[in-house]
Amino acid sequence: MGAATEITVTDGIAQIVMTAGPSGRLMRSTLISLQSDLDHCSSDDSIRIIVLRGKGDVFPSGITTPQGGGDDSDNLLSALCRRIELSPTPVVAVLSGAVVGSGAELALAAHYRLVHQNTRIGFPNARLGLVPSAGATQRLPRLVGSASALEVLIFGALLPVASGTLKGISDQFFETDTDTAIAEFADALAAKGASPRPTADIRTGFADAVAYQQAVSRFRKRVEASPEIAPKKILGAVEAAILLPIDAGLAFEEAAAEDCSDTAQSKAMSHLFHAEQVVAMQVRRSDLPDISTIGVLGGSATALQIVLAGLEAGLQVKWLIRDPNQQRDSVAHVRTVLDAAVSSGRLSRDRAERRKSALHTGADAQILEGTHLVLRATRGQRGIPIPAGVPVAHCLPGADPRLALHFASAASASRLVEIMLGPEATEDDRRIGLALSRRLGKLAIVETAPTLSLHDRFQQTLWRAADALVDLGQSPYAVDDALRSWGMAHPPYEAADAFGLQDVAAFERTDGARNWSSFMVQLGRDGRSGGRGIYIYDGQGVAQSDPDALYKINTERAPQTSIPAPQIARLIVGAMANTGAKILREGVVPRAAELDVLSVFTQLVPNWRGGVMHAVGAEGLLRTTREMQALDHPDRDLWTPDPVFAELIKYGRSFDDL
């Protein structure tokens, strides 16, 4: 027994209660205590059943390896799981709440699992660029098959055990209080003389070998195109589970985990995962008001997306559209979207009808009575009277004196909200913005006195830096190819065509620098919507480089030496990180973590790069600084590194430390 565990023995049933502390994290001290407790119980002939449970119905979880924020540097968890599996005394794991990562691996090693109806299980390892290292890839497929195992192991979502295909994890579900459920389950096991039942010996998930391999093949198609390493390693380990005995399978998993444990990718993804947790603390505040009803002004595309997001979150939505024809068409559009979700199986008919009934429309301000927050999502709505005491959030491009909300993509699809607090904002404005973000199920980046949303600042820097490299003789297609190879989903010129060249042309450049979107507009090209922009587009909208466009660009500048693709990527990432450094110096956000999360969630940077501020450090701050300083380009503000670069280099630090 140790400080991290407590043992009670009643009628031959030993309950080992793991006390993980306020964080709920499974720590090395708990593993050591649990190892000692198991040895003690196994040597006591009077103990017939061992029960593992968490204190207060919280089963200790998390990732125990240092890369996941734990302190189990020599993978004691793996040996402990095998020790549990080989215990001569039956071991029952009692699960409730969210059982994640190492906690789930511990439970899989038990002989029996008693599971509360509301329990969810998840493996975030792949999101950190890691592979489970205590047997999950070998034991979970034995219980539920390859399809369900790969779904939860690769994509990392918390999934309910009681519904769907994870039921095979549980030997019995319960809804009563935990002590009663344990007593009844243990009595039943004792009555039938139950013996240890190692998960290693279970073959339920292997019953249909053909289906098992077919599922592996389907998942291989989903992960093979991705540059992420961990999902491929997990897939290989699950495929091996049906072929190898448990010890060989565990060794296979251990090797896969080691391959991923100290890579640049796992460092980046682990950094991003922990940055997300820091950012998520904002919406977990206990002082946020409840929001059940919102008002939305106008019938714009932005308003439509906010309405859909609100309905999906279970909010009552009051939608004010003054034009009756637009109101009719907008409501019809919402209904069409919901009906399509039903037809595709993404939404039940009952839920769709509930969402429809939660939408209330009107043409005057009276419809806004009873709302907790009004969202101004269409231009020309400032004259509409708002009920007294109801806060208003501006949801259009640009800032607001008090509160603005910015969704980088469609509000119904975006996972992140920028909360822009203007110079007249109060703490109540901050709380109401966070409350809405929480209710919509989104992360929130809180920005103090910004002049422009952070996504827009980064996006404009991306276009500005790309144009500078074209000024210096690079092909716009070479710039896009370099960044696409680096992992950027929407490189600058492809994005400019999609955004509309007329709009991108409006962004000013310093003297001597060109806005190449403006040049394309002068040539009569407006982007993807018109079939010709920097790229040309076929009938299916597929982009192709355009020799004519490149010829015209070349007539406007002197040819220069080509810059290698990796250097192009470093320069542009460096320019974006330089903008991030200025944002930090201005105090718009307090940490680089916010900028990393924002740059990934808005698809400016791939998740496996860890975010723009982490990425510039991974590329090398000194090297990137020298390359930026060496560029002979008139936009010196863009290419002159902020003083913080030199400070970080001097002390051997990175933006991760800020």
Going from the N-terminus, what domains does the chain have, and what CATH number goes with each?
A: 5-262 (3.90.226.10), 283-451 (3.40.50.720), 452-522+554-658 (1.10.1040.50)
Beta bridge partners of 6: 17
pLDDT of residue 176: 85
pLDDT of residue 375: 96
Measured over the CA atoms of residue 507, residue 511, residue 514 and residue 519, the dihedral's sign is positive
CB under 8 Å to 381, separation ≥6 — which residues? 297, 298
H-helix or E-strand containing 536?
Answer: strand 535-537
Q: How many helices (H) and strands (E) does the chain have?
A: 25, 19
* Per-residue pLDDT tens over the stretch 467-521: 999 999 999 999 999 999 999 999 999 999 999 999 999 999 999 999 999 999 9
* Per-residue pLDDT tens over the stretch 613-625: 999 999 999 999 9
Q: What is the dihedral of CA 36, 39, 42, 44, to 10 degrees?
A: -80
Neighbours of 159 (CB within 10 A): 18
pLDDT at 281 over 70: yes
Q: Compute the distance between CA of residue 638 and CA of residue 466 in angstroms, rounded to an integer.
A: 11
Specify whether the CB–CB gap between 544 and 510 falls below 8 A.
Answer: no
pLDDT at 449 over 60: yes
pLDDT at 592 over 90: yes
* CA of residue 48 relative to chain centroid, distance: 44
Q: Compute the distance between CA of residue 498 and CA of residue 494 in angstroms, rounded to an integer.
A: 6
Which DSSP symbol is given to 564?
P
Q: Compute the distance between CA of residue 588 and CA of residue 421 in angstroms, rounded to an integer.
A: 9
Strands lying side by side in the sheet with 443-448: 359-362, 316-320, 293-297, 373-376, 392-394, 403-406, 416-421, 443-448
CA distances from 103 to 42, 160, 528, 632, 638 (A): 21, 15, 49, 55, 48
pLDDT of residue 190: 87
> What three-state secondary structure class fits 294?
strand
Measured over the CA atoms of residue 598, residue 602, residue 608 and residue 613, the dihedral's sign is negative
Which DSSP symbol is given to 63?
-
Token digits of residue 416: 């992140």
CB under 8 Å to 335, separation ≥6 — which residues? 356
pLDDT of residue 381: 83
pLDDT of residue 410: 74
In 3D space, the residue among 40, 112, 109, 122 whose CA is nearest the CA of residue 79 turns out to be 109
**Length of the chain, in residues:** 658
Specify whether the CB–CB gap between 372 and 428 falls below 8 A.
Answer: no
Segment among 49-58, 454-463, 585-594 with least mean pLDDT: 49-58
* Per-residue pLDDT tens over the stretch 15-72: 999 887 656 788 888 899 999 999 999 899 899 999 999 988 788 888 888 887 788 8
Specify whether the CB–CB gap between 112 and 93 falls below 8 A.
Answer: yes
pLDDT of residue 362: 94
Better pLDDT: 193 or 566: 566
Token digits of residue 186: 């243990």
Radius of gyration of the chain (CA): 28
* CA of residue 367 relative to chain centroid, distance: 36
* CA of residue 217 relative to chain centroid, distance: 25
Place of tokens 């243990």: 186
CB under 8 Å to 399, separation ≥6 — which residues? 420, 422, 450, 451, 452
534: confidence class by pLDDT, cuts 50, 70, 90: very high
Neighbours of 586 (CB within 10 A): 13
Which DSSP symbol is given to 524?
T
Instruction: Output the furthest CA–CA distance in the chain (Å, rounded).
Output: 91
pLDDT of residue 23: 65
* CA of residue 601 relative to chain centroid, distance: 7
Specify whether the CB–CB gap between 481 and 598 falls below 8 A.
Answer: no
Residue 141: HSE in the Cβ half-sphere, 13 Å Cα cutoff: 31
DSSP assignments along 412-451, one per residue = TT-SEEEEEE-TT--HHHHHHHHHHHHHHT-EEEEEES-S
> What three-state secondary structure class fits 331?
helix
Specify whether the CB–CB gap between 487 and 567 falls below 8 A.
Answer: no
Specify whether the CB–CB gap between 115 and 52 falls below 8 A.
Answer: no
User: Helix 565-586 and helix 621-630: axis angle, to 10°?
Assistant: 100
2: confidence class by pLDDT, cuts 50, 70, 90: low
137: confidence class by pLDDT, cuts 50, 70, 90: very high
Work out the burial of residue 551: count CB atoms within 10 Å of its CB; fewer than 13 is exposed, 13-18 middle, 19 or more buried.
exposed
pLDDT at 462 over 90: yes
197: confidence class by pLDDT, cuts 50, 70, 90: very high
Residue 655 φ/ψ, nearest 5 degrees: -65, -20
Token digits of residue 53: 């449970």
pLDDT of residue 99: 93
Work out the burial of residue 201: count CB atoms within 10 Å of its CB; fewer than 13 is exposed, 13-18 middle, 19 or more buried.
exposed
pLDDT at 1 over 80: no
Q: Compute the distance between CA of residue 553 and CA of residue 475 in angstroms, rounded to an integer.
A: 9
pTM over 0.85: yes
pLDDT of residue 22: 59
Specify whether the CB–CB gap between 458 and 429 falls below 8 A.
Answer: no
Q: What percent of the chain has pLDDT over 70?
A: 99
* Per-residue pLDDT tens over the stretch 314-347: 999 999 999 999 999 999 999 999 999 999 999 8
Specify whether the CB–CB gap between 318 and 294 falls below 8 A.
Answer: yes
> What three-state secondary structure class fits 457?
helix
Q: Compute the distance between CA of residue 586 and CA of residue 599 in angstroms, rounded to an integer.
A: 18
pLDDT of residue 493: 98
Average pLDDT in the chain: 94
